[in-house]
Chains A and B, each alone.
Chain A
Amino acid sequence: MTSHFPILQVVLPLLAAPVMVLARRAGITWLIAVAMSAAVLGMAGWLFVQTGAGETISYAIGSWPPPWGIEYRIDAANAYVMLLVAAIGLLVALYSRASIAAEIPADQHYLFYTMFALCLTGLLGMAATGDAFNLFVFLEIASLSTYVLIALGRDRRALVAAYQYLITGTIGASFIVIGVGLAYLETGTLNLADMATRLPDVSDQRSVRAALAFLTVGVSLKLALFPLHLWLPNAYTYAPSAVAAFLAATATKVAVYVLMRLYYSVFGAKLVFEELAVGRVLIALSLAAMVIASAVAIFQRDVKRMFAYSSIAQVGYITLGIGIASETGLIAGIVHLFNHALTKGAIFMLLGCIALRAGGVGFDRIAGIGRVMPLTSFGIVIGGLSLIGVPGTAGFVSKWYLVVAALEQGALWLAVLVVASSLLAIVYVWRFVEAAYFNAPSAHIAALKEAPAGMLALSWVMIAACIYFGLDTRLTLGGATDAAGALMRGWP
């Protein structure tokens, strides 16, 4: 039984989706979603424990031995990402019931859970698979369900946001297929581990380098690397709150993992970072994201949109860690992937609480909200502190490692820029504090009640995790160190 966990955790949500369509009743589909997510989290946790000792689990689908059959290859790196996705998945599944009740018509609830299950399938599949084409298929499963989830937003602009994301997302996915195709033509294999052994022989071929370029651009579109981030602000802003929380915490993070895997395990750090200047390009784009996206965030009129721009900046910190191309840099990137997922997931869940009560999260609508929804507002402030990187929060751990990684390379200016861009985060978090605490609530706001206990409790679980993992880093940092080690060792 346990030997089938690598495939079961992907197949279970996939099978749950049609069952949900048949069940139709919102309450029953919710129970299925929660049970399925809990089972997936159990399996992901088991895989995480198993791979912690540096072991690699290879699962041959249909018993067709790799490299002929499709192989799922789990090591410390993707087990870490899958644990994150599954944990967030369970929390969002629990949270979504009360949240979507106000945002999605009741007769569409079962479709929401169906799409959620398919999105989970796609994200876990992307992380688990060791096959290049399988990666594309799961990417499209995740993407197509994401477009539908975004379009479920009650604002009509959600439709346009979903459409724009569909266009850019499909271009990105097609770039990934082109990259996979070129690498396949050059090596004759689709198994990523097998490809990794054959690529060094042909790494001076122009088509291999073109493959790397296409894959980089395609995956960067999915992870919203500056300047390929234009789909993200609208998608997060107009999506239902539960969807925004889920996507912000998982979708871009899995894409980041794919980028790390392609660079370190498949193409190899030597080709990517030593022979080609990918690292320097990544650093330049990451710095642009950190500074420009943070600056743009300050001028937004909608809190959700502000934190969406902040997500682009935070993805910049993660890719900066990859771009530095040292083990410490990679650890910093992976740890920030986890910490930012927790922080931003928590913030978007709490914003969902405000949207539920106040009917929106524009700055004009939340004036004085801190007095009527104290727990919700205080949670967002703690999340904001984690975004800034205040000691005692999860964000501090990853920024600390990022600064250390920069100093290791002798790049003092890089360390200074990381800290300086965090100052911009202070400004936009302060804007929320000012609006929520220093403005007198209007009559409409003053009549509001605190958010439902269930939603608040789940959001606070995430906020508590932000603080906990800022103080006890054994799981996050230990897992990230194992993951970085697994990535640095490569696959074959």
Chain B
Amino acid sequence: MTVIAAQFTYWVTIFIAIAGLYIVIARGNLIKKLVGLSIFQTSVYLLYIAPGKLIGGTAPIYSVDFAIYSNPLPHVLILTAIVVGVATLALGLALVVRIREAYGTIEEDEILAQEAPPDAVATPRP
């Protein structure tokens, strides 16, 4: 029990990561895959942020009243990672819109069915 409590954030991180990856693999809907991908990325944010926080620690602004400070670097890194994640999600969604225009569906199996002969003659995009 104490093992779980002491490493609580890591257990949450692992759960979120695996849940996200499972969605990416198991769902055939292209939007749901992107949702899973975002959940997976969120677990990474938690992995970085959680160890940066000390119980009782404050923002790292020097003051005589405080002795314990939280490490600000993980927050800065994850701010960057969040921006990258948003850009990835936006690009992924934009691609899904274009796929919907070209195929009329966003279900992976229906797209594959339309491309049944894998090396057939190129189909020009409408």
> Residues of A at under 8 Å CB distance from B?
133, 136-137, 140, 144, 147-148, 151, 154-157, 159-160, 162-163, 166-167, 170-171, 173-174, 177-178, 181-182, 184-185, 190, 300-302, 305, 359-360, 362
CA distance A220 to B87 in the complex (A): 23
**Does any Cβ of A come within 8 Å of B84's Cβ?**
yes
- Contact B37 A170, beta carbon cutoff 8 Å: yes
Q: Which residue of A lies closest to B92 (CB)?
A: A166
Tell me the smallest distance from the CB of B11 to a CB of chain A, in Å.
15
- Contact A144 B88, beta carbon cutoff 8 Å: yes
Tell me the smallest distance from the CB of B44 to a CB of chain A, in Å.
5
CA distance A151 to B91 in the complex (A): 11
Chain B residues contacting A155 (CB-CB under 8 Å) are: 122-125
| A-B pairs with lowest CB-CB distance, top 4 | A301-B119, A156-B102, A156-B125, A155-B122
List B residues 59-112 near A (Cβ within 8 Å): 73, 77, 80-81, 84, 87-88, 91-92, 95-96, 98-99, 102-103, 111
CA distance A173 to B37 in the complex (A): 11
Chain A residues contacting B41 (CB-CB under 8 Å) are: 170, 174
Chain B residues contacting A148 (CB-CB under 8 Å) are: 91
CA distance A178 to B96 in the complex (A): 27
CA distance A185 to B13 in the complex (A): 15
- Contact A181 B47, beta carbon cutoff 8 Å: yes
Chain B residues contacting A133 (CB-CB under 8 Å) are: 77, 80
Chain B residues contacting A160 (CB-CB under 8 Å) are: 99, 111, 115
> Within the complex, which residue of B37, B81, B125 is in contact with A171, where a contact is CB–CB below 8 Å?
B37
- Contact B92 A360, beta carbon cutoff 8 Å: no
- Interface size of B in residues (CB-CB distance below 8 Å): 36
CA distance A170 to B87 in the complex (A): 11
Given contacts A154-B124, A155-B123, whether A177 and B99 have CB atoms under 8 Å apart is: no
- Contact B91 A144, beta carbon cutoff 8 Å: yes
Tell me the smallest distance from the CB of B82 to a CB of chain A, in Å.
12
- Contact A163 B92, beta carbon cutoff 8 Å: yes
**Please, what's the 1-or-0 string for B15-36, where 1 marks a CB less than 8 Å from any CB in chain A?**
0010001001000001001100
Q: Which residue of B lies closest to A185 (CB)?
A: B51
Given contacts A156-B125, A171-B40, A181-B44, whether A151 and B84 have CB atoms under 8 Å apart is: no
- Contact B81 A177, beta carbon cutoff 8 Å: yes
> Within the complex, which residue of B17, B48, B98 is in contact with A159, where a contact is CB–CB below 8 Å?
B98
Given contacts A174-B44, A181-B48, whether A151 and B95 have CB atoms under 8 Å apart is: yes
Tell me the smallest distance from the CB of B23 to a CB of chain A, in Å.
11
Given contacts A137-B80, A144-B91, whether A163 and B121 have CB atoms under 8 Å apart is: no
CA distance A157 to B87 in the complex (A): 22
> Within the complex, which residue of B34, B47, B51, B123 is in contact with A156, where a contact is CB–CB below 8 Å?
B123
CA distance A336 to B37 in the complex (A): 34
- Contact B119 A362, beta carbon cutoff 8 Å: yes
18 A-B pairs besides A151-B95, A181-B48, A300-B119 with CB distance below 8 A are A133-B80, A136-B84, A137-B80, A144-B87, A144-B88, A155-B123, A155-B125, A156-B102, A157-B115, A157-B123, A159-B102, A166-B95, A167-B33, A167-B34, A171-B40, A174-B44, A177-B44, A185-B51
